[in-house]
Amino acid sequence: MTTTAAPASAPGAIEQRYFIVSADCHVAEPPDLWETRIDGRFRSRLPRIEVDASGQKWSVVEGHRPVRVRDLKLEGEDLERSKAGSRDPEERLRDHARDGIDAEVIYPNRGLAMWASPDPLMQAAMCRVWNDWAIELFRGYEQRMAPVAAVAPADVEGAVAEVQRAAKLGYRGVFLPVQPLGTAPPTERRPGYHLPQFEPLWTAIEETGMPISFHVGTGKDPRTASGNGGAVINYVVHALSTAIEPVVQLCASGVLERHPRLRFVTVEAGIGWLAWTLWAADEGYHKHHWAVSPRLPLLPSEYFKRQGWATFGDDPMGIDTMAYFGGAEKILWGNDYPHHEGTWPHSAEVIERTMGHLPIVDRRKVLGLNAAKLYGFNVPPELQSA
Ligand code: MN
């Protein structure tokens, strides 16, 4: 179960073993998962591919403009990644063994679009389908695989019920979209997580003890830009950087003061922005003191250090600046298997390149011990500390 694929760069170490958790993995759902399982009244409204008279394929999602589907010509490892992410746990274990991974936290793949509809009830119905399916799929693999429950906060009352149901089903994490309305098109008034209407949700999540995940790609339509540079603009601006908002919302609003046992994790957003974000949040708290409400016992950065975490894959800037946001305690590594942004199947090289200089005790935390604590994986005794 343990691995030797990870770096052996500790001073004097010939072979160093770690317990490695990828805190950010994905599973490819069956193509007809939602079509076959969703409440009948929502079926005709599901996201779908339509083919026009000229044979062009379009991705159709309610509330969004249709997006042209391009047939990608992938080769080599790109092609391999596009086909990986198996829903056969044994096949996943084989893929993880190649990459040196012992355990994983699992997110949807197509299901990242569960929060695309402007209708909160549609979102909630799609989330229930995922929640019914994912926990059953990984039943019996609890020490290797922890899928997270998807919840649609736009309908707060429904979200509270789903959080409670998810905890009973055996989930160990709650996936909320980066924005409460998810990737639904902007409305006049977009609610934020700092607003009091979400109070019952925080209470319910806190009671279950499950950490919240804000996985990127769910804060706005991550395909907002098109044309020159669009792919890069979408990745940096419309996917990754959206994670700043829920962090500041929770850390500056009093939510974490009222809910001291609530824990949250940004997922796949990287960590290089955290030092600056928390600095700016504290600066705003001090320098705009005449406008700041509520006044809180702790600074925004201190709430993050108490209750926030962040995952990353390959982010040397974040490693260099981690002392500013709480250090190795606060970050979780993930390979984003099998996505193209991720490090699978070359994680050992990336870990060595970005974390080879860290003390072994820090690497142990970042690579697995922090995630094991948050999501309840058992760590072999010999790998519990440096
Ligand atoms: Mn991911």
**Cβ partners under 8 Å of residue 306, min gap 6:** 256, 260, 298
The sign one gets for the Cα dihedral 272, 274, 280, 286 is negative
Output the CA 203–ligand 1 centroid distance in Å. 27
What does the block give as tokens for 22? 């990828």
Q: Per this entry, what is the length of the chain?
A: 386
> In this structure, are residues 357 and 99 in contact, taking their beta carbons and an 8 Å threshold?
no
DSSP H or E segment with residue 66: none
Q: Look at residue 6 in the predicted model and tell me its pLDDT.
A: 44
Output the CA 167–ligand 1 centroid distance in Å. 22
* Ramachandran sector of residue 151 (left: φ over 0; alpha: ψ -120 to 50; beta: rest): beta
pTM above the 0.75 mark?
A: yes
**Is pLDDT of 14 > 50?**
no
Per-residue pLDDT of 328-363, as tens digits, reads: 999 999 999 999 999 999 999 999 999 999 999 999
Report the mean per-residue pLDDT for the chain.
93
Q: Mean pLDDT across the stretch 366-376? A: 98
**Cβ partners under 8 Å of residue 376, min gap 6:** 146, 172
Q: Look at residue 71 in the predicted model and tell me its pLDDT.
A: 84
Output the CA 102–ligand 1 centroid distance in Å. 17
Output the CA 130–ligand 1 centroid distance in Å. 16
| Dist. CA 311–CA 269, nearest whole Å | 7
Strands ordered across the beta sheet of 67-68: 48-51, 57-60, 67-68
* Ramachandran sector of residue 176 (left: φ over 0; alpha: ψ -120 to 50; beta: rest): beta
Per-residue pLDDT of 101-121, as tens digits, reads: 999 999 999 999 999 999 999
- The class that CATH gives domain 3-44+83-379 is alpha beta
Output the CA 358–ligand 1 centroid distance in Å. 24
Number of C-beta neighbours around residue 49 at 10 A: 10
pLDDT band at 15 (very low <50, low <70, confident <90, very high): low
Q: Look at residue 185 in the predicted model and tell me its pLDDT.
A: 86
Output the CA 152–ligand 1 centroid distance in Å. 18
Q: Which residues surround ligand 1, an ion (CB under 5 A)?
A: 24, 268, 336
Per-residue pLDDT of 284-305, as tens digits, reads: 999 999 999 999 999 999 999 9
Per-residue pLDDT of 209-262, as tens digits, reads: 999 999 999 998 888 898 999 999 999 999 999 999 999 999 999 999 999 999
What does the block give as tokens for 246? 């829920």
> In this structure, are residues 236 and 174 in contact, taking their beta carbons and an 8 Å threshold?
no
Q: Where are the alpha helices (DSSP H) in 185-271?
A: 199-208, 230-233, 244-252, 255-258
Per-residue pLDDT of 116-140, as tens digits, reads: 999 999 999 999 999 999 999 999 9
Q: Look at residue 384 in the predicted model and tell me its pLDDT.
A: 86
3-state class of 237 per DSSP? helix
**Is pLDDT of 156 > 90?**
yes
| Dist. CA 9–CA 14, nearest whole Å | 8
Q: Mean pLDDT across the stretch 85-89? A: 96
Q: Look at residue 17 in the predicted model and tell me its pLDDT.
A: 86
**Is pLDDT of 3 > 80?**
no
Output the CA 342–ligand 1 centroid distance in Å. 8
Output the CA 173–ligand 1 centroid distance in Å. 15
- Phi, psi for residue 122 in degrees, rounded to 5: -65, -45
> In this structure, are residues 104 and 96 in contact, taking their beta carbons and an 8 Å threshold?
yes
Output the CA 310–ligand 1 centroid distance in Å. 12
> In this structure, are residues 185 and 227 in contact, taking their beta carbons and an 8 Å threshold?
no
